[in-house]
């Protein structure tokens, strides 16, 4: 089984979004960078995906569609996406299949949005998915009824709906332990 690490939307654009907070950033970056370093050491392709659209900081002309400061910016392949799933109109499913990749390791920003959507879409396309929650970042959200959801509640809900149906929920340590030893 061949695999690839997806680093989804880990970009400066988010620092300029109204909901941005640094509260979870140090822990997230530690896990994300460890995952990237482990994949690189094992010779696993690292695919960096940037979200680009015509809206403010995600507009290419903003100059913010670049790796988030503090993140390991290494990539073997880079694509831009214009919708939530990294597997729509990016050529990635074909790129993976051409290389015999059938397992995707999901990480990045936002846990419940682009990371979850890519996971569901990848599963539906026949890929095996390792969803590394601790290597995803999200932000508190408020429901229309006024209830505030913490990042922990959002992560827990995401794991609940993905586990066993769309993905195997993993820690960074789980993924690193399963990677082949580089020759």
- Condensed to tens digits (0 to 9), the pLDDT of residues 80-96 reads 999 999 999 999 999 99
Number of domains in the chain: 1
On whether residue 78 sits in a domain, the answer given is yes
Question: What is the overall mean pLDDT for the chain?
Answer: 96
Distance CA 6, CA 20 (A): 22
Confidence of residue 54 (pLDDT cuts 50, 70, 90): confident
On whether residue 183 sits in a domain, the answer given is no
Interstrand relation of 141-142 and 148-149 (parallel, antiparallel or unpaired): antiparallel
Distance CA 18, CA 21 (A): 9
Contacts of 53-60 spanning 24+ positions with Cβ under 8 A: 53/82, 56/16, 57/12, 57/13, 57/14, 57/15, 57/16, 57/17, 58/13
Average pLDDT over residues 10-15: 97
- Condensed to tens digits (0 to 9), the pLDDT of residues 135-163 reads 999 999 999 999 999 999 999 999 999 99
On whether residue 111 sits in a domain, the answer given is yes
CATH of the domain at 10: 3.40.50.850
On whether residue 149 sits in a domain, the answer given is yes
Confidence of residue 182 (pLDDT cuts 50, 70, 90): low
Coil, strand or helix: which one is 78? strand
**pTM for this model (two decimals):** 0.96
- Condensed to tens digits (0 to 9), the pLDDT of residues 106-115 reads 999 999 999 9
Q: Which domain holds residue 77?
A: 2-178
């Amino acid at each position: 089984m061949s695999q690839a690490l997806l680093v989804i939307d880990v970009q400066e654009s988010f620092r300029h979004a109204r909901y941005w907070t640094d509260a979870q950033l140090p822990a997230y970056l530690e896990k994300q960078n460890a995952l990237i370093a482990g994949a690189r050491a094992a010779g696993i392709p690292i695919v960096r995906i940037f979200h680009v659209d015509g809206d403010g900081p995600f507009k290419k002309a903003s100059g913010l569609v670049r790796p988030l400061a503090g993140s390991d910016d290494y990539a073997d392949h880079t694509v831009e996406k214009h919708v939530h799933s990294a597997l729509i109109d990016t050529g990635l499913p074909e790129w993976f299949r051409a290389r015999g990749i059938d397992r995707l390791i999901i990480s990045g920003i936002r846990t419940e949005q682009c990371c979850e959507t890519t996971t569901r879409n990848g599963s539906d396309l026949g890929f095996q998915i390792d969803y590394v929650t601790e290597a995803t970042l999200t932000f508190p959200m408020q429901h229309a009824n006024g209830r505030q959801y913490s990042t922990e509640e959002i992560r827990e809900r995401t794991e609940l709906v993905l586990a066993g149906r769309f993905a195997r929920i993993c820690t960074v340590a789980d993924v690193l332990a399963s990677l082949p030893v580089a020759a």
